[in-house]
Each structure stands twice: as C-alpha cells, then as structure tokens.
A and B are shown apart, each in its own frame.
Chain A
Amino acid sequence: MKKEKNIGAIVGEYGAFIALLILFVFLSAISPEFRQPSNLLNLLRQASFNGLIAFGMTCVILADGIDLSVGSVFALSAVICAELIMMGMPAIVCICGALVAGTLMGVLSGLLVTKGRLQPFIATLVTMTAYRGLAKILTDAKPISRLAESLTGGSFLFKALGKGNLVPIFAKNIKFPIPAVILLLSFAIFYFMLNKTTYGRKVYATGSNAKCANLVGVDTQKIKISTYAISGFMSALAGLMMISRVNSAQPTLGQSYELDAIAAVALGGTSMSGGRGKISGTVAGVLIIAALNNGLNILGVQSYYQDVIKAIVILVAVLSDRKR
C-alpha cells in the first residue's frame, strides 16, 4: 500500500464528511439562525432518531441484508411501551419490555432471512407490514396519549429519554439533549463493535463472502440474525425516545423511516451488497440528512422542494463516492 494518498483517494474515503462540511459551511454562511449553538444542538437531537436506526441498518447492510421493517418496529415497540404504561407498569419495565420486544421483532426478520431463506427485501417487507398491522390492532388505530402522567413510577426516567438535557457543570448555559447523548454513546459502541471485536470481523466477512466465511467457521446465519436483532433493538430505542418526546404513542409513527436510514447508510459510503462500509460514514450521512431538513426549514423552503433537494444531494454524494 502506498503511503501517500492522492486527493482522489482522500475524497473517496472521506467523501461523506467533505459533503457534510460543505453543507454546514454553506448553511451557516447564508443563515445566522442555522449556526446558533442552540439550533445545532437541536439538529443533533433531530438527527438522533434516524441516527440510531441507521446504525442498526449499517450492521444489517454490512452483513449483506436490508431491513425495511425499522419504521414498523419503531411504532410497534412504542405502542407496546405505551400499553405497558397504561397497564400500570413502572417505567423501567415498560422501557425494557419495549426494547426486548423490538429485539425479538428483529430476530424474527433474521429467522425469515436465514432459516426461511427469504430474500432480505421480501422478508422485511413481510415483517414491516405485519408489525404495522399489529401496532394498529393493539391500539385500535388510536393514539395513546398522556404517557408521562399515566406512569405509576419512574416517569422521570421516561421523560428524560426524549426530552431531557444534560447540563455540563462547567457550562450551565449549554443544554445537551439526552437523545444526542444516546446517539454519541451508540456511535462509540458501534464503532468499537465493528472495528475492534471479532464480532465485527465476522459481520464484514459474512457480507463480503458468506460462503467463504462459513467455510472458515463463521456461523453466518447467526451473524445475520444478530444484525437484525441489533437493528430491531435500535429501532425500538429510537421509538421510545420519540414517544417520550411527544408524550403519546400512535401506530402510524415512523412511517418511511427506513428510507431515511437507508439513505444515510448509502450516503456514508457503505456498499449495498455488504462487506464494505464504515459506521463513521453513516454518522456523516445522518448529519447530512438532518442538516438538510433543519437548514431548509429555517430557510423557509417548501417541503415539496425539500424532498427534491434531498434527493439531489443523495444522488450527488453517492455518485461522487463511486469514483474509487
């Protein structure tokens, strides 16, 4: 490997970050409101929901899968949590219950892909539809509101998930949103998991060449199931943060969230056929999408135009990443 890298290689490797930087500089330059620290922290909070889902999605895609069910898992876990609250369970039970449920939903998708030998796209299309239906059945298709008030114990914990702020002792005027903290913590965990552990190696190997990985003793089926489980867990966590923030749960939550998550992963340079990609790229992808949403809103761009602009940015970023 040559030590010196030319500019092309650097752009190829950090393309998403360069795009993110350009976008930030541009938005900051034309909008004083955008560059306010409070707005940037808010942006981070907005990014956290898609971010958590996209981290799980990165694992699934790295192992040569795809998870369309994330939005439905997001909603069904949220609804399960809300139902548990209404049954009078303490916050910790509701939260853990929803997380376990989300994980199991992911495991089911994984089982359909591995043992059921369905293509990931089809398998998760099935679970996506089923989970959405279940969420509607559970709630009778009605929102469940006043969640925090209905909690018998630990409502503080529940509220903190989506609404809370972390205030550093040294800078009392900065409020760091808890969702953003969870996002950063998750990033650290995923980075470690994918880059520093044997599990990470197995995920990459499975996505790169499952046949070869299986022959050297990697249980590729187990690895695949585990990535869907991770995706389910992360979607459930994001769902919990969302209902904590809006203090109500409805079965239509998280619709088409899978698209933003997949877009973030693609923006980050992860190969859709598995085996290649980085979690740091996904972070950049998530922030690009969040900055676009936030910035275009502040600039007062109509939402129809926003979608078109988003599409163009994704296209340009992915095309420029292909030149390697």
Chain B
Amino acid sequence: MNIEMRGINKSFGTNQVLKDAGFLLKDGEVHALMGENGAGKSTLMKILTGVYTKDAGTIFVDGVEVNYKNPQEAEKAGIVFIYQEINSLFDLTVEENLFMGKEITKGFGICDKKAMREKAQEVMDRLGVSIPIDAVMGDLSVGQQQMVEICKALMVDAKVLIMDEPTAALTQSETEVLFEVMKGLVEKGVSIVYISHRMEEIFELCDRITILRDGSYIGTEYIKDITMDDVVKMMIGREIGERFPQRDVTMGEEVIRVENLSHPRYFKDVNFSVRAGEVLGVSGLMGAGRTEVMHAIFGNMPEATGKIFIDGKEVSIRNPREAIAAGIGFITEDRKTEGLLLEKPISDNIEVANLKKVSTRNILNPKKQIELVKRGIEEFRIKCFGPQHECHNLSGGNQQKVVLAKWIYTEPKILILDEPTRGVDIGAKKEIYSVINDLAAKGVAVILVSSELPEVLGMSDRIMVVHEGHVTGIIDAATADQEKVMTLATGGSL
C-alpha cells in the first residue's frame, strides 16, 4: 500500500502542531518517523487514521484521495495504529481484549469461545510469544501487555501498521521477537511506519526515515545513506555533541551498601554498594527484579528482608518516609501512575515532595512556593506556560523534568532513577544525562536502572546485572560492552 500525505496543517486551538507536514510510504518498507517530542509524529499519524481531522492538505492511498472519518474506517482499509499508551481493559482477559468489538459469534450474539481461543492462539504462535490467553490483562507485565496490543493489530488483516514506540516497555528478547515478526510481515507486503526515539533500532530495522521538526517536514532519507549524527542534526536543527556527556568526578566514600536484600517472590541475596559521586548502572531483562529491588530499598516492599547501610550505619527503612529521611530519592519507572499528580499543575508536583521547604510551621509560604517552582522551571528548562501548567499536558521529557526537579530539591544523598529516559526525546535525554552528571559531581550516589544498553554503558561507572532476581555480576563500565552485559542478563557468566 502506498500512502502519500501532502501539505498537512493542524492546529489545536491557537497552537499549530503541523505546518505543511508530509510523508510518503512505499509498499513493503519499514519507514521510520522521527522527531523530538512535540514534533508532530503522532499527530500526523492520527490524522492519517482518522483520529483527528486535518485543517488542510491531502492524503492519497494507492493514488486515491481518502479522508478517514474514524480509526475504524482506516482499519477497514487496512491501516492499523498501535498506540504507545496501552489501550486495554485491564480487568478482562487477554482473549476478551483481543476480540473486543469483533467477537466471533455463533449468531444471536452468543460468543464462540472456542473459535476465538483458536484464533488467538494462532496469532500468538505466529508472533512466537507465550502469553496465557486466559490471563487477566492487568496481571501481565507492561511488556506482555504491549505484545497483546500488537497481537490485536494482527488480528485484522493489516496492510499498513503504524507503531508508536512499541519497544519502549519491551525487554531485549521481546524486542528481538518483535523485530522478527515485523520482518516477516514486511516480506508478506505489509508496510510499517515505525515511530521511535531509539536510534539503534531504527538503523537496524528501517529502510527509510522521515524527519519532522516543530510540525514541519524536514526530509526523507535512505537509512543506508545517512549516519545517526545526521539524523540528530535534522531533528534538532543543530549539532548536539556527544550523546553521553563526559563526567569528571572523583569518587568519595561509600554512601550506601545493601546486604543480602531478599524478597520471597522477586529477588534473593542482592549485595552492592555505591560511593559518593558514582553512577551505578543496573541492567537486566524486564521482570528480572530490578525495579522491585529499588522499591525494596525505598521501603516500598514490606516483605523484603536484608540490611541497608547508609554512611556506614545500618538504617531501618520500613516505608518511603523513612527512606526519604535517610536521604534517598526515587524516580520511579512509571511517571504517569507513580511519579506525577498528573492532573495537577507543575507547582503542586514540585511542592508536594518539598512541603517542608515551602512552608513555615506547616503553613504554606507563597513566596517560598513561587521561588522553588520558578527555580525548578528555569533550572530544568521545563517547557510550559508557567507554574500552573497541568502535567498531563506536558510532553514526556518535560514531565520527567518535573519529576527530576521534585526529587532533586529534596537534596538526596542517594538518587535512584528507574528508566529515567523512557519515552523522552534526544534533546531532553541529553539534558537528563547532564543532570545525572551534575548530581554525581555534587557527591550524590546515583543508581541508574535502564533497559537501554547504550545508556547504561555510556552513563555508568559500574554496571550491576540482574537475572531472575539474582545479581549475576557487577562489572566495570570501562571494560564492559553490550555482549558482556547481555550474557550476564540472560543468566550466563563471563
């Protein structure tokens, strides 16, 4: 299927998000769509699939002008959008989700369970994933939920598949499975539009790339003709320099030591320590127990046992309040459900972690409030209308900066960051890396959990690898490479 979009304009209120944007998709190719957050990638694709209506411009599918009124029409034509946000009913089973709205019936609205189960299993097999089809969606890991979303798209006979950051929550092995599936689909003549911030993936997978910046079309290139630096330059309109900024820090004393941290379900005998000014990367496959270990350190896992020493003294941490009092900050994996008061403005979000700072004897002090929030917005360069900008309206990168600001103003001695750059564009990513480096320079002990291997390798001093709840190795980042980390992450030894 060939798709041609030309001169697309779109405004939301006074905010013009697309200006003369365009896009050309050829039969049977994987076409990357790149741009910073807010560049208009998702909006452009939502216009194609009829989620939004365009203000101006034309869309041709196989030479015929089309105007899909809603996603169902686009789906009938064979264009399927897999959204970044998981669009599932979490209380229902996998099978019920897969067939939502397109149940196979025996007539009279009576579901044909058997036929549906068979078809679901067939699609799962085709994808090479093993998710129990009777499992309740909400009980699955984020990665598994994403896989179900992809299965859902494959249930209809898609000719064009639009994938918005499909690998953001997938493990390395799940990603590999997904890529195999995608390659298989392309061989059958399906075209794929691939929206991602992960440069490595795009260079591995895609044939061509189209870049948008500030809602405008910048260019389309063959992947084999350009370099990552070219792409970055096109995306941000200037040179960005090194992806991982240099850090020049002399490490101090050991700040935190964890001994024999165990949990009956998630992990066993975790031992490690971090020094002042050090960045400890934590790598491992999704579900390996990395996030759970961090929650345990933060007192958010009541069943966990083990000892935690801070500045050489054993501390008892039974809940997040005691963790904060002990000098720990925790930027959690899921900023939407755990990191932010999403419907509240930036000001409330920064203040809520720093209530002591903005009050006098428990009474809020407006002067201190404004000062702190303004400082946050300036220091972290949060793009917003002002302190009252509600967080759900911010881009992913700016949301993450709010979370960073909120925690950094609590002045932690130890800062845990769990997937801090997930869903964040390249410009904001680099800013976050700089923030991490500044913290390390100030003597903060940083623990960086990440699924992105280049990030862990580029940012850490040492890397701890977790496999199925066990630490399989702590290696020096200077001598580490992707292969070594992956070996440990999959349970091998060096």
Query: Which residues of A line the B interface, CB within 8 A?
Result: 1-2, 196-202, 204-205, 208-209, 211-219, 275-276
A217 and B353 contacting across the interface, CB-CB below 8 Å = yes
Chain B residues, Cβ within 8 Å of A2: 385
B338 touches A201 (CB 8 A): no
A131 to chain B, nearest CB (A): 31
Q: In the bound complex, do residue A202 and residue B341 qualify as a contact, i.e. CB atoms below 8 Å apart?
A: no
**Shortest CB distance B240–A (Å):** 31
* Contact assessment for A201 and B352 in the assembled complex, using a CB-CB cutoff below 8 Å: yes
B319: chain A residues within 8 A (beta carbon): 219
User: With a CB–CB cut-off of 8 A, which chain B residues contact A219?
Assistant: 319, 321
Q: Which residues of A contact B385 (CB under 8 A)?
A: 1-2
Beyond the given A197-B364, A216-B324, please list 13 additional residue pairs across the A-B interface where CB-CB is below 8 A. A1-B389, A197-B359, A197-B363, A198-B356, A198-B363, A200-B364, A201-B351, A208-B344, A209-B337, A209-B342, A212-B340, A215-B320, A215-B339
B467 cross-chain contacts in A, Cβ below 8 A: none
CA distance A284 to B320 in the complex (A): 38
Chain B residue contacts of A204, Cβ below 8 A: 341, 344, 348
**B219 touches A (CB below 8 Å):** no
Q: Does B305 contact A (CB under 8 A)?
A: no
Q: How far is the CA of A255 from the CA of B321 in the complex (A)?
A: 41
Contact A208 B359 (CB under 8 A): no
Check if B237 is an interface residue, CB within 8 A of chain A: no
Complex formed: what's the CA distance from A178 to B248 in Å? Answer: 70
Q: Is the CB of B321 within 8 A of A208?
A: no
CB of B400 to closest CB in A, whole Å: 14
Instruction: Give the dominant DSSP class at A's interface.
Output: helix
Interface of B is mostly: loop
Interface pair A216/B353, CB less than 8 Å apart:
yes
> Are B337 and A199 closer than 8 Å at their CB atoms?
no
Question: In this complex, which of B298, B321, B332, B386 has the most chain A Cβ atoms within 10 angstroms of its Cβ?
Answer: B321
Shortest beta-carbon distance, A1 to chain B, in Å?
Answer: 4
When A and B form their complex, what is the total count of cross-chain residue pairs whose Cβ atoms lie within 8 Å? 76
Q: Which residues of A contact B341 (CB under 8 A)?
A: 204-205, 208-209, 212-213, 275
Residues of chain A within 8 A (CB-CB) of B343 are: 208, 275-276
Q: Is the CB of B355 within 8 A of A202?
A: yes
**Complex: chain B residue closest to A215, CB-CB:** B320
Q: Mark B284-300, 1 if CB is under 8 A from A, else 0.
A: 00000000000000101
**Residue B388 lies at the interface, judged by CB distance under 8 Å to chain A:** yes
Q: Which residues of B contact A218 (CB under 8 A)?
A: 352
Q: Give Cα distance in the complex from A242 to B353, angstroms.
A: 42
Q: Within B402-430, which residues are at the interface with A (CB < 8 Å)?
A: 406
Q: How far is the CA of A12 from the CA of B431 in the complex (A)?
A: 38
Q: A209 contacts which chain B residues (CB < 8 A)?
A: 337-338, 340-342
Task: Report the separation of the CA atoms of residues A275 and B340 in the bound assembly, to the nearest whole angstrom.
Answer: 13
| Closest chain B CB from A209 CB (angstroms) | 5
The answer to whether A196 and B363 touch across the interface, beta carbons within 8 angstroms, is: yes
Residue pair A201, B406 in contact (C-beta under 8 Å): no
For the complex, give the distance between the alpha carbons of A221 and B364 in Å.
22
Do residues B355 and A201 form an inter-chain contact, with CB atoms below 8 A? yes
Could you say which residues of chain B place their CB within 8 Å of the CB of A208?
A: 341-344
Question: What's the least CB distance linking A230 to chain B, in Å?
Answer: 16
B window 336-391: CB within 8 A of A? 337-344, 348, 351-353, 355-356, 359, 362-364, 385-386, 388-389
- With both beta carbons as reference points, the residue of chain A lying nearest to B362 in the complex is identified as A198
| B23 at the binding interface (Cβ < 8 Å) | no
Report Cα–Cα, A218/B324, bound state, in Å.
11
6 closest Cβ contacts across the A-B interface?
A216-B353, A208-B341, A1-B388, A198-B355, A217-B324, A217-B321
Asked if A198 and B389 sit within 8 Å, CB to CB, the answer is: no
Alpha-carbon distance A196/B319, docked complex (angstroms): 27
How far is B13's CA from A2's CA once the two chains are assembled, in angstroms?
A: 13
